[in-house]
Structure 1
Amino acid sequence: MESVRADAVGTDHASDVLAIRGCQLDAVDPATLLADEIRRRPWTAWASPDETVAGTGSAATISVTSGDRFEAVRERASGLFANQDVATNLPPFARPRLFGGFAFHDVGVDRHADADWTGFPDAYFHLPAVSVIERDGETWLTAAAVGPDAPSTAEQTLERWQERLTNAQPSTESPPGIAARSQIPERGAWTEQVDAAVERIDRGDLRKVVLAGAQTVDLAGSLSVPAALDRLSETYPDCYRFAFAPEQAGAGTFFGATPERLLRRDGPRVQTAALAGSIGRGDTGAEDEWLAEELTDSPKDSHEHALVVEAIREQLDGFAETVTTGERTIRQLATVQHLQTPIEAILDTEVHVLSLVEALHPTPAVGGLPPDDALAAIQEAEAFDRGWYAAPIGWFDAAGDGEFAVGIRSALTRERRATLFAGAGIVADSDPDAEWDEIQLKYRPILDALR
């Protein structure tokens, strides 16, 4: 059996063996694992500047719908990782990892009806039954199994999938095209939302709040998400490209290409960045340079960015021996430019990456300040459910290391419909028209992958 559900992974499963077996592959694209004829739910795609991972099926699943979701995932993962049998030939990057994410809002927050997040609970992670990992010039196929017969099951699965991948090819379907689209909120309602937010900031109730919109598109044909990810990888090679397709019946697929790293933990070293303040791209190098200068000199964008840097530093201070802020630069993407400041911390104690995720989410780049007041304002203003949009997505391992991005520049798709999400940071001198133009720019990455 290649897939074993483990919704209640924890002490009840602590005696189960988690086995990983693997072998090196020659000239196999990880996306081959996601070809239509062999892909099965749940499946995951994850690509960072360092590696590309595709996983299908599930050796174990952790799903949380109540209580302290971060602590619950940590505890259940600890039980899953307690008894490992990992093949000695595997490189460190082929170690067992759980992939998944969290909802933007905490457990118990009322959900709006718009944007159907069926299958995406408050927290969901899975250990793929089969993975293809490309990193450091090597490509590895791994098979995972959980249970008393896990070692033999993993070995059999590995042998079977070696054969299956021999003649498989990645999905190469053309974009489906867009038949129609609509937005929430419409332009007039957006202006009212921004004006109301600015009024609250002027009163001193808020310092910043990030308001988001949702654009629903009816597709002219069927969408291959793996093929869309391939198109995104060509345009956004330095972004995190991701897709999560839970196994629950009726669940859609959440995918995108986000420029925003939430954090990466490698032992005591934590890397993150502030990404806030936006402007478009020009048609020429000279226009790009002029727009970048406008962004750099913008009091509104500089203020918004400084709030994010300050908040991240404060959130890390409680865990770190040192926190270092790098030089602010311009991050250029295909359709937009951002202000970016790298931030690095050295931990002064052993801290699981999920504890850091809990402390940092949501950053002011996607939530606001003060955090609780901003979250309440978002829930009151927005007429759709953010679900996993702007929330932490990524992976972690048995050592408590991991990497998480922020699920922006993203969409939720099901059958021939996709809902795209984009947000803008509102501060004291925000202009509704300028902020409207900004979120239209942020829809572009996914729209371009669809049409």
Structure 2
Amino acid sequence: MIEVQDKQLEEILEDAISSLSINKVQLCSITKKIQPKNPVCFFEAARQIEKDRVFWTSTNDAFSIAGVGNAYDISANENRFQHMELKWKQVIDQAIIHNSFDVPGTGLVSLGGMDFDPKKDRTELWGDFPAIQFTVPEYMLTKYKENYYFTINVLAKKTDHPIQLANQLRDTERFLLTPIKAEKEKLRMLTTKVIAPEEWKKTVKKATEEIRHTSIDKIVLAREMRVKLNKNANIATILDQLLATQSNSFVFAFERNNNCFIGATPERLVKIENKQLLSTCLAGTAPRGKSETEDRQISNQLFHDEKNREEHDFVVQMIKKGLNKYCVNVHVPEEPTVYPLKNLQHLYTPVTGKLKAGYSIFDIVEQLHPTPALGGVPRNDAITFIRDYELLDRGWYGAPVGWLDSNDNGEFAVAIRSALIQNDEASLFAGCGVVKDSIPEAEFEETRIKFTPMLSVLGGES
């Protein structure tokens, strides 16, 4: 691989086009290093060219990807993980990739997500989000530590003229890399509607009865809040606010037509970099205190709370068992720590290992999803209850979202603390773990707190 300079763009495209037969196309991926650019400004600039956008930031790792347009889409229905892995390998094998940088998230990268439960009946709410879909953006900005990279992914056709195509790509690149700041005017909520609160509490009660009389230990139930805004939401502005307020989180946005699934989740499912794997167990929740003293008291109560520790241990044991199948040198600390966020704090345990040869990040995602923090214990029985009795179509909420590259690096987080925005309306989602002694009113209050991160950036209060 050679480092790509602008003058080489025509040569790369000419070689790709000349090798094509009629009615064939060639995916070309071309990466270069650039001067620092704000990923949110890049994302905002893309609004002017009316293409779908994607955004991903791991705030703790100084890592961001902002993507524009769809050079290639991969979707599936049956055997979704196996099909996606096979198709992704085919895309990599057939693509021409010019990337001289050994940097995660550069070169050929695909970003996307999937349904929480592919067997759940779908509703119109998630109509623009396939059961599983990953997109290779046409233009992509990657920030890795202190360095920035720009990638063009173009689907070249036999009828394309290499010089004209190169000039078109450069024109769009210049436009996207010209600084454009997101508008600063904040949104206001005009109305909020909690969907079926009393029915939801009855479902919690039914879940506790199911747990007492069956082998189920835990069932996670989610609910929805619908809000009306004073104007169409500017997604870049919301991203800016999430980045400013939700530290220790993965900030994401997946745009499809006029819908955008956006959030700031603290829960990593899996990260793989150079075959080194990291998964995190995040379960057990409490609010932050209004003072340092109160915050420490709440943190200490959370750490010693039997219900929360039990809920957390469900997740730890499941992830440890799952990773032992695909990894060597699996390490799990003996006790959790308390992980602070702006509005909430959680019990947290990291799990590390090294991926065995012959396995991919899709194997890990399939093994771990859904964790007990989003589904329940045992998994299949809990999911069946959720499928039969939960009052909403989760869609991509609570499911893995993330990215993977052509060098076997990737990262997925669990899409909680999120909202599906549709112009001047939004659906917000929050869930909680129900066990045999759960009290419906207390669980309702826990989910109310979990709405806070998204409510705060949409102009509302908890």
Q: TM-score, normalised by structure 1?
A: 0.90
1:221 alignment partner, SS class = coil
User: Could you give the per-residue CA deviations for residues 117-170 of structure 1, whole angstroms, max 9, x where no partner exists?
Assistant: 011111111100001111221122211113456994874454223321354413
Structure 2 residue aligned with 1:28: 37
Structure 1 residue aligned with 2:78: 67
Identity value in percent = 30
Q: CA separation of 1:148/1:255 partners in 2, compared to 1, >3 Å: closer, same or farther? A: same
Give the aligned residue type for 1:376: T
Work out whether 1:255 is the aligned partner of 2:262. yes
Give the aligned residue type for 1:205: S
| Among candidates 119, 126, 146, match of residue 155 of structure 2 | 146
Q: Distance in 2 between matches of 1:162 and 1:252?
A: 25
1:35 alignment partner, SS class = helix
Work out whether 1:96 is the aligned partner of 2:104. no
Give the aligned residue type for 2:82: E
| Among candidates 24, 44, 52, match of residue 64 of structure 2 | 52
Q: Distance in 1 between matches of 2:295 and 2:86?
A: 48
Structure 2 residue aligned with 1:137: 146
Q: Distance in 2 between matches of 1:265 and 1:100?
A: 16
Q: Distance in 2 between matches of 1:347 and 1:401?
A: 11
What is the CA distance between 1:439 and its match in structure 2? Answer: 0.6
Q: CA separation of 1:166/1:56 partners in 2, compared to 1, >3 Å: closer, same or farther? A: closer
Unaligned runs of 5+ in 2: 1-23
What is the CA distance between 1:320 and its match in structure 2? Answer: 2.2
Work out whether 1:234 is the aligned partner of 2:244. yes
What is the CA distance between 1:40 and its match in structure 2? Answer: 3.0
Q: Distance in 2 between matches of 1:38 and 1:220?
A: 22
Give the aligned residue type for 2:125: D
Q: CA separation of 1:85/1:300 partners in 2, compared to 1, >3 Å: closer, same or farther? A: same
Contact 1:40–1:56 (Cα < 8 Å) also in 2: no
2:232 alignment partner, SS class = coil
Work out whether 1:164 is the aligned partner of 2:175. yes
Q: Distance in 1 between matches of 2:165 and 2:406?
A: 19
Contact 2:98–2:107 (Cα < 8 Å) also in 1: no
Structure 2 residue aligned with 1:369: 377
Structure 2 residue aligned with 1:354: 362
| Among candidates 247, 250, 255, match of residue 245 of structure 1 | 255
Give the aligned residue type for 1:444: T
What is the CA distance between 1:33 and its match in structure 2? Answer: 2.2
Give the aligned residue type for 2:261: F
Q: CA separation of 1:192/1:151 partners in 2, compared to 1, >3 Å: closer, same or farther? A: farther
Report the number of matched residues.
429
User: Could you give the per-residue CA deviations for residues 50-91 of structure 1, whole angstroms, max 9, x where no partner exists?
Assistant: 211111111111122x21111111121112111333335545
Deviates more, 1:301-310 or 1:321-330: 321-330
Deviates more, 1:47-56 or 1:407-416: 47-56
Q: Distance in 1 between matches of 2:385 and 2:178?
A: 52
Correspondence 1:11-410 to 2 at 5 A? 17-35=26-44, 37-48=47-58, 49-50=60-61, 51-64=63-76, 66-90=77-101, 92-93=103-104, 94-106=106-118, 108-111=119-122, 113=123, 116-147=125-156, 152=162, 155-165=166-176, 167-186=178-197, 188-247=198-257, 252-326=259-333, 327-410=335-418
Contact 2:246–2:342 (Cα < 8 Å) also in 1: yes
Contact 1:19–1:154 (Cα < 8 Å) also in 2: no
Work out whether 1:419 is the aligned partner of 2:427. yes
State the Cα RMSD in Å. 2.0
Give the aligned residue type for 2:220: V
What is the CA distance between 1:99 and its match in structure 2? Answer: 0.3
Q: TM-score, normalised by structure 2?
A: 0.88
1:283 alignment partner, SS class = coil
Q: Distance in 2 between matches of 1:167 and 1:274?
A: 40
Give the aligned residue type for 2:391: A
Q: Distance in 2 between matches of 1:423 and 1:379?
A: 14
Contact 2:36–2:147 (Cα < 8 Å) also in 1: no
Contact 1:241–1:256 (Cα < 8 Å) also in 2: yes
2:185 alignment partner, SS class = coil
